[in-house]
Chain A
Amino acid sequence: MSKLKTFSVGGIHPDKHKITSACPIEDAGIPETVFVPVKQHIGAPAKILVQKGDRVKTGTLIADADGIVSADVHSPVSGEVIKIEEQTGETGYLETMITIKTEGDEWEESIDRTPDLVSDISASPEEIVNIIRSAGIVGMGGAGYPTPVKISVPAGKKIDCIILNGIECEPWLTADDRLMQEKGEQIIIGAKILNKALGIQKAVIAIDENKPQAIETLHQLTRRYVGVNIAVCRTKYPQGAERQLIAAVTGREVPPGCLPVDVGCLVQNVGTVHAIYEAVQKHKPLFERIVTVSGDDLENPGNFRVRIGTPASYLIDKAKPLGTPGKIIFGGPMMGVAATNLAAPVTKTTSGILLLKEDSVNIFEPTACIRCGRCAESCPQGLEPFAIAGFVRRGEYQSAKKIHVLDCMECGCCSYICPAKIPLTDYCKLAKYEIRKKK
């Protein structure tokens, strides 16, 4: 193993809390009712195809992609559509959801439910892209960008490097880690499928060194699969961010305003690649995912295979909280969303649900900036959060724009590291909001 890779600018080392990395993936079961949002991705909401009273099977298409940047939605359970209306999501805002009452678990006949591994890739590159599109696959790391758009390379550009993102740099989360430990071979075949779709020979699986089990498993497997390599990376947050990961693995830096494809790279989360395997080889659309349910006051934290649309409260009951949680987070603690509504459903992009104790989420009163420079030092994009915060306090958003606040990816490093506890990320978000509003 050569020198451990990592990105050079900034980064922090938050406490890992990966307490669930040894918990095997459990089946969460099927709740009585599921709430399936029609917009679980970036882009246009999907067009609803069903009506109240319709009967659906598990895997039935219930909403159709509206336009190119959009994604299909499939029924995660079998049963009856009982409601199609706006309901509150995890942030408390209304989202259009299809409510399905579960009856049994009858799958579409086309889905191959056997556990057998299918390693021969028979589909042609065009077919692969079409299958991925009709399986409703989106980036499952958190952003939810529709995968078929990402793997359709614009004319004149060429991808020469596929990176599978198994970094999972957020504390607490272990969904990808477990998936690599248990479904390593499927992920590698998924990588091969991507290779075939893009007509290139190589793929790299990037893993943080804090996942020795996953590294070991995949190492064993890659001996049998030519062209799939492992890149072990030195643990640092936010290594799982697309740009930082490309810099860590290839040394290339994506310039501001450009996309990874401009430096010839494609990054796919390992969860997404697993979904691609299931879609192409097993004809199974994306209607379930792995969710880490963890936190500092749980009796039974773990990794669960969850049907999309399962209410968070159902999973929280499974994890058995010991006290009243102070904060419930959808996603990781660095970039996740604090939830107001526990009936909100798991979506394609929910990688974890965290229940943190009240005293572990206390926010301290900000004090005066002591100009220590740690925010600038930790910023993976090379920005100066302290200066941005100064401009935002004075309402000088254009000055903030001049020091590149729009390159901020809101990773939270500056707020995390600030000894004066100044909410620097919030100031950056505010600056971005104001600049975009004025356009």
Chain B
Amino acid sequence: MSEIITANIIVLSLIALAAAVVLYFAAQKFKVENNPLAEKIAALLPQANCGACGKAGCKDFAEACVKADAESFAHLYCPAGGSKVMTAVAKELGFSTPEHEPTVAVLHCNGTCENAPDKVEYVGLQSCRLANRAFVGKTGCPNGCLRLGDCVANCPFGAIEMDKKTGLPKVNPDKCTSCGACVRICPRGLYEIRPRGENGVMLYVACSNRQKGAVARKNCKAACIACMKCAKICPEITVENNLSRIPASVSPQTWGAELAAACPTGAIVYTGNKGKENEQA
């Protein structure tokens, strides 16, 4: 009896030993070099791997931070995490906190169901990128929102929702990290990452239609018709390709109310004037 027990113990020990040796060499061979500091920094990041910083993912960004010197660190910024995360990263590495203006994604289209009613019915796969290739869109506007929600489906932070009433996607500024996923996914380039402005008050042209005014108006009541009224009020505003653009440098507080009131189609959105925006939406 004792012989059996001894034999068992010996055999099992030998097996364990052999397995340990194999595991040891395997671990040596497949070892992945990790910088402990980079791991520490990666833990501070949002881990959304959204790619907004221009790196392949959060791990990549962390490694870039570790390698950076004081000067090149100033060019690194995690838009998803914002200045809070960057302060923590800078503290960890002993750098000064880089300055960065908070931003948010805005949609340059106001082709709501009411402003731009459907002319045809789209019944295929609900994807803007696909529909964009197949036809001009339900509204007939070749530059406007297709209202099929690729941005909603691809927002890594769930910050965009389809507004059932308007048919348009709506960015929730509290959740938006301006990672730029919507900018990249939108086949018509309707999104822009814009400074949030003081207290989140913004002023921009919610239209991207480059057709002549009369043609654009046929499809959408809220289209910019390049009437130049806004440009006459504020000299900083440029009108190119039948489309007005309000640069971010135009102060919403100073100009917002006046410009929004002057725009004959309501293409200019001024979020400070809540009444006006609700009326559009």
Contacts and interface: CB of A to CB of B under 8 A. Distances in A.
Nearest to A87: B215
Given A430-B130, A433-B130, A92 B125 contact: no
A93 B123 contact: no
A423 B124 contact: yes
Contact of A340 (B127, B130, B136, B154): B136
Contacts of A430: 125, 127, 129-130
Residue from A338, A340, A427 whose CB has the most chain B CB atoms within 10 Å: A340
Given A340-B135, A395-B154, A433-B133, A94 B211 contact: yes
A340 B140 contact: yes
B142 interface: yes
A264 B133 CA distance: 33
Contacts of B133: 429, 433
Interface in A85-119: 88, 91-94
Contact of B136 (A91, A363, A395, A429): A91
Nearest to B135: A91
Contact of A426 (B120, B125, B135, B137): B125
B45 to A, nearest CB: 21
A92 B125 CA distance: 19
Contacts of A426: 124-125, 127, 130
Given A363-B123, A363-B124, A92 B135 contact: yes
Contacts of B136: 88, 91-93, 340
Contacts of A423: 124-125
B165 interface: no
Contacts of B124: 363, 423, 426
Interface residues of A, number: 17
Contacts, number: 43
Interface residues of B, number: 17
A429 B129 CA distance: 10
Contact of B120 (A88, A93, A340, A395): A340
Nearest to A366: B125
A99 to B, nearest CB: 15
B249 to A, nearest CB: 31
A434 interface: yes
Residue from A338, A363, A395, A434 whose CB has the most chain B CB atoms within 10 Å: A338
A88 B119 CA distance: 14
B137 to A, nearest CB: 7
B1 interface: no
Contact of B142 (A93, A363, A427, A434): A93
A94 B135 contact: no
A340 B135 CA distance: 8
Nearest to A429: B130
Interface in B3-58: none
A22 interface: no
Given A91-B135, A340-B135, 9 more contacts: A91-B136, A92-B135, A92-B136, A340-B120, A423-B125, A426-B130, A427-B125, A430-B127, A433-B133
Interface of A: 88, 91-94, 337-338, 340, 363, 395, 423, 426-427, 429-430, 433-434
